[in-house]
Amino acid sequence: MPSAPRENNRASSNEQAQDKKKTRSRTDSGERLKEADRPTIKAVGNHWEVHPYRGSCKPPTVMGALVREMYPDFVETENGKRPVRSWEDYKRTSTHNVLDDRGVISEFWWRFKCLPEDRADAEETLEQNFKTRVSNMLSEEKQAATKKLYASGKVPPEEVDAHDNLWPTKEALISVKPKDFTTAEGWRLLCEHWSSEAFRKMSLRGKNNRQANGDELTTGVDPGLTGAWLHTHELRPGNNDGLMCSQSASEKWVTIGFFLS
């Protein structure tokens, strides 16, 4: 029947098109900017006000890109090389005689500026933010590698742990190294770490905790109904943090017995 192959081909093309849409290109850190062109930032808690606001130049986005682009590959220890696993590890490695954490922060300030009186708070907030960014970046790299191994229903070589959990082998993870991230040695060390018994136990604990707290917000703390309502009705972009998304939402918040400070 001649129509069947055409239908299959069409379905295959549609699936490929959908997969292509789902693929998100990585955001890079952008070019260094002249001082006059750099947005001015101010730390507000663990967040940032940006003036003028630019959707393509957000401090968290730039931080995430920088820790990936400037990933130090490995740390030298008494027991040999191990992968860089945290922001603290960036403080233990150097490139061209410059500590890698200082290099990352220096590149950040080529893209933003702040008033002298705000600099100390900004530096403190940067330290806290970078700790999270490194952890998130490595988690995203592992997720991307695993997703690639199991794409389109494929099953890579797997191994079973003592509790009958299936994991992709270290060699399978190594085989899907990203072209634009770390060296072959750095990636191998990461894959060995991800394949260790200690990491797998930690990964399972994290997964179980997320499943157990699936109805809570990303803070890990149950905010209750009022907190959840407020969370979904606040403006987030730019320097509008804490403002309600509309006058109507503000009025409803007041009518149910709560007052905005």
User: How do residues 64-101 score in pLDDT, each as one tens digit?
Assistant: 999 999 999 999 999 999 999 999 999 999 999 999 99
Q: What is the pLDDT of residue 10?
A: 31
Residue 212 pLDDT level (bands cut at 50, 70, 90): confident
Length of the chain: 261
d(CA 180, CA 9): 32
Pairwise pLDDT comparison (122 vs 4), residue with the higher score: 122
pLDDT greater at residue 152 or residue 12:
152
CA atoms of 111 and 116, how far apart (whole Å): 16
Three-state secondary structure call for residue 131: helix
Tokens matching residue 37: 């062109």
CB 52 within 8 A of CB 39: yes
Residue type at position 110: W
Q: What is the pLDDT of residues 56-68, one digit of tens each?
A: 689 999 999 999 9
Distance CA 144, CA 178 (A): 9
Q: What is the DSSP letter of 234?
A: B
Q: Is 260 helix (H, G, I), strand (E, B) or coil?
A: coil
3-state DSSP helix/strand/coil % of the chain, to nearest 5: 50, 10, 35
Residue with the larger pLDDT of the pair 243 and 105? 105
Q: Which of 1-10, 32-41, 171-180 comes out lowest in average pLDDT?
A: 1-10
Q: Which residue has the tokens 């401090």?
A: 59
Residue 193's H or E segment, with its range, is: helix 184-194
Radius of gyration of the chain (CA): 23
Cα distances (Å, whole numbers) of residue 227 to 148, 219, 231, 260: 37, 12, 6, 13
> Would the pTM of this model clear 0.85, i.e. be above it?
no
